[in-house]
Structure 1
């Protein structure tokens, strides 16, 4: 009986970063810790913080990818990982540094945008609450 393998696709907002077939196993990090995916595992969804995604194929061996925050969805033999940014590399230490320096630290522009959005949301909620009381 042939073994069932997984298909892995890492999606970025405007492109496909990685597409692999015949994946033996996948290890992903969540806020609760790392977990592994094997082909026969039940379908699942996981929220991914910035971290390292590891997958293994017979031809490539174990490969590490640094990923920014996103979502992992396993449906049957297909595993989709949708993240904001991703970096490939061979040195695990360099990938870990990239996660810490590029993905975990919000740049000044992004912090400013988040602050403005939070103020807009608060203003909307206050106006909506006052509208409900009229």
Structure 2
């Protein structure tokens, strides 16, 4: 094992999705665009957007993983990616389609749900205030 390479661990809420050793580079997507990690980069934290995470190892070459929103943390040679959902694949166009279909539509559903919950909460607060004043 080459100690100058990175160790990547991708976590989902209830399981370890993937562990890769001897990773030479990682490319991830944030709100500000894509950025790359090399083994000697300084430690960092980044909020990830739904997109394609790419990592490269000598044994497997480039590996593509569609990831939902989450966070990436690099400390030393260890890179931890914690996301809500992930899909591994080799066809980039299919993975891009999966990101659009699975992860971005989920965000729209979640926004609608939050809107409904906000309306319910405001209605409840209004009725409690009427009850208290009446």
| TM-score over 0.5 (shorter chain) | yes
Cα distance change, pair 120–7 in 1 and its aligned pair in 2 (3 A): farther
Please state whether the residue corresponding to 2:54 is helix, strand or coil.
strand
For residues 29 and 117 of structure 2, the distance between their equivalents in structure 1, rounded to whole angstroms, comes to 28
TM-score, normalisation: structure 2: 0.83
Deviates more, 1:105-114 or 1:59-68: 105-114
Cα distance change, pair 124–13 in 1 and its aligned pair in 2 (3 A): farther
Please state whether the residue corresponding to 1:106 is helix, strand or coil.
helix
TM-score, normalisation: structure 1: 0.83
Please state whether the residue corresponding to 1:53 is helix, strand or coil.
strand
- Give 1:122 deviation, angstroms: 6.0
Identify unmatched segments of 5+ residues in structure 1.
127-134
Does 1:65 find its partner at 2:65? yes
For residues 19 and 112 of structure 1, the distance between their equivalents in structure 2, rounded to whole angstroms, comes to 34
Cα distance change, pair 108–5 in 1 and its aligned pair in 2 (3 A): closer
* RMSD (Å) for aligned C-alpha atoms: 2.4
Structure showing greater radius of gyration is 2
The match for 1:102 is: 102
The match for 2:13 is: 13
For residues 112 and 9 of structure 1, the distance between their equivalents in structure 2, rounded to whole angstroms, comes to 32
For residues 75 and 122 of structure 2, the distance between their equivalents in structure 1, rounded to whole angstroms, comes to 37
The match for 2:92 is: 92
Identify unmatched segments of 5+ residues in structure 2.
127-134
- The alignment covers a number of residue pairs equal to 125
**Where has structure 1 moved over 3 Å in runs of 4 or more?**
107-113, 116-126
Does 1:46 find its partner at 2:39? no
Please state whether the residue corresponding to 1:96 is helix, strand or coil.
helix
Cα distance change, pair 119–73 in 1 and its aligned pair in 2 (3 A): farther
